[in-house]
Structure 1
Amino acid sequence: MSTTDDSFSVPQDPINMPCPGLKERWWHIMDTWKVGIIPLPLFLLAGVLIAIDCLGGKLPADIVVMVATLAFFGFACGEFGKRLPVVGKLGAAAICATFIPSAMVYYGLLPDVVVESTTKFYKSTNILYLYICCIIVGSIMSMNRTVLIQGFLRIFFPMLCGEIVGMIVGMGVGLALGMEPFQIFFFIILPIIAGGVGEGAIPLSIGYATLLHMDQGVALGRVLPMVMLGGLTAIIISGCLNQLGKRYPHLTGEGQLMPNRANADTTSSQPVVSGKTDVTAIASGALLAVLLYMIGMLGHKLIGLPAPVGMLFIAVLVKLCNGASPRLLEGSQVVYRFFQTSVTYPILFAVGVAITPWQELVNAFTISNLLVIVSTVSALVATGFFVGKKIGMHPIDVAIVSCCQSGQGGTGDVAILTAGNRMSLMPFAQIATRIGGAINVSVSLLILGNFFV
């Protein structure tokens, strides 16, 4: 007979157990019924308050009201995407959080005051850059130093191979469909790998306007839909890669590019969130991210390097030189996790409302365009997968970074990494988007100006 305490416990009669009171039931609803991260009662309250403001004809664009507004709509769209059958597991949450708001704006389903306030808030605050800098700095500070060095040194080779193969495959498919080579490369393939909208599509449209003697608005109208469709394809592929990683765990590092053997001797240097992180450490971690971004802005003024990239390099330098204490590293990691879980879908909603033109996306939905775009992005990602595996990296994580080569800049990186559940890869995604895109645009415009005009 067992002599443990469990053998002497007296089971309670479920019939005579006390029923939970009203207070306990209310707490149960608050803690278990949620839309995204928002308890259902608070979600409903936010909806009522927003509706009252909308009926009054004015929704303030200040940060207090916008936090509630973006959270309400962003998590609603994200939750809808998560609950879709089949595609809910393939990145539909990020797609819905971005493109449902865009469609609602176009079809007039979103109140004008919400559209106006969201657009004003997004464009006046540059909140996307606050999000990106906290994600980049937090993810870098939580990385192992050895993995960080090896990852940055090795990631460029799969990226380069992916772009070359993607261009070749895209050109081949386009030629097979009877499209003109000039049109295929400069107006479909190049916009896909140009680095997004601000760093890719707009500089391309300016270059085309100068070199091809066309109106910049016309050039942008032809380029922008390809950027968006390429980003949409990358989001879907990233979601599929995430599911592939769940089925074949040996192919993924769950956000780490290098295998565990690379950091077996330095695991102790990793900051681990204890759950008791001091509030001042969290505040210091957030301030560190902001200050590093300000240094990146200064670098942009001096040498023209994009501020997120400059910030990325400075953050890596701080990490490699042990410039941040373990307490500060832990604070940065908490900030990173907060933004990852709480700010992603609100940011994607704002992006969908403010800078995602639905009609241009729809206009680009032709069979020939789609075939070229899907084949280009698929070949780019597949090449990253196999090359990454060949050189000893986690192939799924490398492939998700490769997806970011065809994303919509910083916003595309957020959506792609959210769909792939690999937000810790943001530093490498920024390299793929910013540096890779800048090189592609510069070299291609140089070739266009010297050989085709």
Structure 2
Amino acid sequence: MLSNVMSPQENEAGQNQRAINITLFCSALIILFASIENLLPSGLIGALGIMVVVGYILNVVGDKTPIINQFFGGGAIAVIFGSSYLFHSNWMPAETTQTITTFVKGGGFLSFFIASLVTGSVLGMDRDVLKKAALKYIPVILAGVACAFLFAGLVGAALGHGFFDSIMLLALPIMGGGMGAGAVPLVEIMSGRTGMDPEFLMSKMVPALAIGNAVSIVCAGLLDKVGKVFPSLTGNGQLIRGEKEEVKQEEEAAPMTIDMLGIGALIAITMFFIGTVLSSVIAMHSYALMILFVAFVKITGVMPRQLEQAAHAWYKFVVDNLTPALLVGIGVAYTDLNQIIDSLTLVYFLIVASTVLGAIVGTGILGRLMGFNPIEAAITAGLCMANMGGTGDVAVLAASKRMELMPFAQISSRIGGAFMLILATFIIQML
């Protein structure tokens, strides 16, 4: 009996928690009411408010729903596809949808999120781990591309779609780094050198990107489940085998204070600016240049450890608080369910799925041989090549619960995607 009596401290803590829950519930109701009645303010305050509320609700639903939470990534899947349905099927006013789209695309929220993740996760890594991974990672990406092309070509040939057409029209854009940095320049390259209609090429490639992105997100959730069943295949977020304890000790040394969060945010923004400035003189994507510069800073050790910890603390704050909101933005601004459904013929789906499967198999096998954990290698070097660039990276890593792998995901999307454009040019010139 005495053990069930709450102490004054426990009773006060319970009352405080109930007050917090009631306040959050009322805030959510107010924001949802304003959105449904088309009274939502424009700009950051309106977009971020509704994104946080919808993201939290759908994330809880996904994490509590059987099968989805066990095999399909849980909350991440529910947030992306649930928000896409809610905001594109007249459940929410069109003005709210436009506010979110503008904020995510034109407002730079995605860039801000990725800059925070890349900077903090790289600077929070063990220096020796980063050196070891960099030399072995690119060959693993190439193995994934080779297997993805082979699987897609063989399945396409068997189903009457053609070996070469399956690779060039479906597998190549899927592995090509997303829409802006992948499909769009790829269409320009192919139409300019082959005379094919750009609209025809785009009609083939865009649904492939969308379906490939969806399949990649689902596979990310499944790989997380596989890792729980077969622990020897995963490092639970660590790419290199045998490095978990060192990285964990370094991460735990970083306390999260208000001052550190502010400094960390400034460092992340500065690194993004540096990547943008460098891209004006170097013909590479600003994300790729940002990654290279942050990696250079980490490897050379020129930044004081306290500042590295500040960047890592900011990264953890952003991941813990803003990931569901960003996934809503991805669902609203970048995920067209109608386009996915309209293109979802059996042959089309099987070729796309075989491409993603090939990326997983190739990177998992060679990743193991190169000293990586197979699941982490398949997620970063495989699925983050097969998804839709930066937005897909966030969704895949969220579904697999491995956001700390963002630097390697961005290497796949940006540097790997640039390589695919070079490869496409070479193939077209040869054939």
Fold shared, TM-score > 0.5 on shorter chain: yes
Counterpart check, 1:170 vs 2:149: no
Conserved 8 A contact 2:212-2:353: yes
Counterpart check, 1:420 vs 2:409: no
What whole-Å deviation, never above 9, does each CA across 1:192-241 have from its counterpart, x for those lacking one? 10111111111122233433445544432321110111111111111111
Measure how far apart 1:41 and its partner are.
4.1
Equivalence for 2:409 = 429
Equivalence for 1:440 = 420
Counterpart check, 1:128 vs 2:117: no
Equivalence for 1:68 = 49
Name the Cα RMSD after superposition: 2.5
Counterpart check, 1:28 vs 2:17: yes
After superposition, the Cα gap between the structure-2 partners of 1:278 and 1:26, relative to the gap in structure 1 and judged at 3 Å, is closer
- After superposition, residues 15-54 of structure 1 pair within 5 angstroms as 26-29=15-18, 39=21, 41-52=23-34, 54=36
Equivalence for 1:364 = 343
Which among 94, 119, 139 is matched to residue 157 of structure 1?
Answer: 139
Measure how far apart 1:95 and its partner are.
2.0
Equivalence for 1:325 = 304
Which among 54, 62, 73 is matched to residue 91 of structure 1?
Answer: 73
Once residues 352 and 87 of structure 1 are traced to their aligned partners in structure 2, the CA distance between those partners, rounded to angstroms, is 17
Which among 217, 230, 240 is matched to residue 258 of structure 1?
Answer: 240
Once residues 203 and 7 of structure 2 are traced to their aligned partners in structure 1, the CA distance between those partners, rounded to angstroms, is 66
Conserved 8 A contact 1:30-1:40: yes
Counterpart check, 1:230 vs 2:209: no
More deviation, 133-142/210-219: 210-219
- Amino acid in structure 1 at the alignment position of 2:389: G
Once residues 368 and 408 of structure 2 are traced to their aligned partners in structure 1, the CA distance between those partners, rounded to angstroms, is 17
What whole-Å deviation, never above 9, does each CA across 1:110-156 have from its counterpart, x for those lacking one? 22221121122222211101100110111111111111011111111
Who wins on radius of gyration, i.e. which is larger? 1
Counterpart check, 1:350 vs 2:332: no
Measure how far apart 1:267 and its partner are.
8.2
- Amino acid in structure 1 at the alignment position of 2:109: I
- Amino acid in structure 2 at the alignment position of 1:88: N
Conserved 8 A contact 1:381-1:399: yes
Conserved 8 A contact 1:54-1:113: no
Counterpart check, 1:80 vs 2:61: yes
More deviation, 324-333/139-148: 324-333
Once residues 299 and 198 of structure 2 are traced to their aligned partners in structure 1, the CA distance between those partners, rounded to angstroms, is 43
What whole-Å deviation, never above 9, does each CA across 1:74-101 have from its counterpart, x for those lacking one? 1222222222212213314222212222
Conserved 8 A contact 2:254-2:313: no
Conserved 8 A contact 1:75-1:345: yes
Counterpart check, 1:291 vs 2:280: no
Length, aligned pairs only: 429
Q: Which ranges of structure 1 fall in alignment gaps of 5 or more residues?
A: 1-10, 32-38
After superposition, the Cα gap between the structure-2 partners of 1:284 and 1:447, relative to the gap in structure 1 and judged at 3 Å, is same
Once residues 3 and 111 of structure 2 are traced to their aligned partners in structure 1, the CA distance between those partners, rounded to angstroms, is 57
- Amino acid in structure 2 at the alignment position of 1:359: N
1:343 alignment partner, SS class = helix
- After superposition, residues 305-320 of structure 1 pair within 5 angstroms as 305-320=284-299
Conserved 8 A contact 2:129-2:243: no
Equivalence for 2:2 = 12
Once residues 28 and 370 of structure 2 are traced to their aligned partners in structure 1, the CA distance between those partners, rounded to angstroms, is 50
- Amino acid in structure 2 at the alignment position of 1:363: D
Conserved 8 A contact 2:238-2:244: no
Once residues 278 and 345 of structure 1 are traced to their aligned partners in structure 2, the CA distance between those partners, rounded to angstroms, is 23
Measure how far apart 1:262 and its partner are.
9.2
After superposition, the Cα gap between the structure-2 partners of 1:106 and 1:208, relative to the gap in structure 1 and judged at 3 Å, is farther
Which among 130, 136, 141 is matched to residue 148 of structure 1?
Answer: 130
Which among 237, 247, 260 is matched to residue 281 of structure 1?
Answer: 260
Measure how far apart 1:103 and its partner are.
2.4
- Amino acid in structure 1 at the alignment position of 2:107: T
Equivalence for 2:229 = 247
Once residues 415 and 394 of structure 1 are traced to their aligned partners in structure 2, the CA distance between those partners, rounded to angstroms, is 20
Measure how far apart 1:51 and its partner are.
1.4
Once residues 303 and 19 of structure 1 are traced to their aligned partners in structure 2, the CA distance between those partners, rounded to angstroms, is 63
Measure how far apart 1:348 and its partner are.
1.4
